[in-house]
Amino acid sequence: MAAAPSLYVHVPFCASRCSYCDFYSSTPSGPALESAARLWLEAIREHLERLEPSFGRDGFETVYVGGGTPSWLPGDALAEALRLIGRVARSGGREPSEWSLEANPEDVDERLVDTLLEAGVTRLSVGVQSLEDAARRLSGRRGSAADALGRLEGIAAHWPGRWSVDLMFGLPGQSAEGLADDARSVIGLGAGHVSLYELTLEEGAPMSRAVESGAVSMPDDDRRADQYEAARSELLAAGFSRYEVSNWALDGQECAHNLRYWNLDDWLAVGPSGVGNVSSGPGAFRRAANAADLEAYCADPQGSVSESTVDGKDAAFECLMMAMRTSRGLSLESFERRFGIRAVDAFGRLHERFPELVRLDGDAWIATDRGLDTLNEPLVYAMSEIERSWDDIAGRSVVSV
């Protein structure tokens, strides 16, 4: 069966906004949520129907329903959305190799589990962030740590598929000991994948304003490093491998959908603020960004899309940047096939200039563990090299299709 794209579906609703978040979402509830969810559902239905014939391939290799908080959708709207997505994903007789859905622990009950299993969802990604009450409160997370842990225990007991947990470090009110306990707890309950994100203060987010005003204090660099090391030690001791900058998994439990992002494979996106990426000839990509506005998106899902082309040195550098985030690194042979130029001509001999950060392993440049934490240094150098050399190497390259 020919290669198929992946599908990302953005659900733009949350029960409440975390104080650090800048993703596109809104917080309706009750009748307002019912009405908004219905408009969103009809919009993604129309968008999917118009994407299918224009793309020209049947089904999807992987599906990821994110947000926002998909589990905050009213039960009937979620079930209908999953039926719609499943029908399109399975067209042409294809069965997605992985189907993930994001959920907050507070929303997961037996009814939700039944809905997901009936639809064919295979992987649950649970947003925990922290199981320390002070950190949860300052971050705007719903529910207490005890409540969240109880819900995770319910997932462990009733969810038969794979499941992942998001944790964060660098949160105000968080401790290294607490984060180590969090990691031990989710690992002990059977999570086979842990995303460990460092808090980034986004301009305009409530937490950023609180820090600027002095109302909230952030942990310093040493405390953040201690928190990361505490979680890292627990993950390594439990047999997890760091397969991407912020992602750890037991062998075979890596997120297949996210790997397609980092490989710059083809994926389509529906829902407001979703962004798709499709190969557009050798060494180029067509980027499609949906309107980050529910009203505009629902009024004309396809017409609200902003398209652009990423090619030339921009596409080449993006390929390097994404690949170096992963434990697989950048295959030099694949890069040359894709762009018709040698990576060492475009970016310099990174493994020789930064031996402690980048190693040459057979055919691939791979970031060392330290390199994954300090990717900016070799990437800034690589960007300067390709800017300097591009006109020369592009003029003499022959791209093989």
Query: Closest Cα partner for 140 from 22, 291, 292, 283?
Result: 22
pTM of the model: 0.94
Task: Go through the domains of the chain in sequence order and give each one's CATH number.
Answer: 6-260 (3.30.750.200), 312-401 (1.10.10)
The token pair that represents 334 in the structure block: 């694949």
pLDDT at position 355, please? Answer: 97
pLDDT tens digits for range 148-162: 999 999 999 999 999
Q: Which residue has the tokens 């009024």?
A: 299
Q: Please tell me whether residue 332 adopts helix, strand or coil conformation.
A: helix
pLDDT in tens, the chain (401 residues): 567 999 999 999 998 878 777 677 888 899 999 999 999 999 999 999 988 655 656 899 999 999 999 999 999 999 999 999 999 999 989 999 999 999 999 999 999 999 999 999 999 999 999 999 999 998 888 889 999 999 999 999 999 999 999 999 999 999 999 999 999 999 999 999 999 999 987 777 788 888 888 888 899 999 999 999 999 999 999 999 999 999 999 999 999 999 999 999 999 999 999 999 999 888 999 999 999 999 999 999 999 999 999 999 999 999 999 999 999 999 999 999 999 999 999 999 999 999 999 999 999 999 999 999 999 999 999 999 999 999 888 766 544 32
Does residue 326 contact residue 259 with C-beta atoms inside 8 Å? Answer: yes
**Which class for 90: exposed (0-12), middle (13-18), buried (19 or more C-beta within 10 A)?**
middle
pLDDT at position 53, please? Answer: 56
Question: How many C-beta atoms lie closer than 10 Å to residue 176's C-beta?
Answer: 19
pLDDT tens digits for range 103-155: 999 999 999 999 999 999 999 999 999 999 999 998 888 889 999 999 999 99
Q: Which residue has the tokens 């330290």?
A: 370
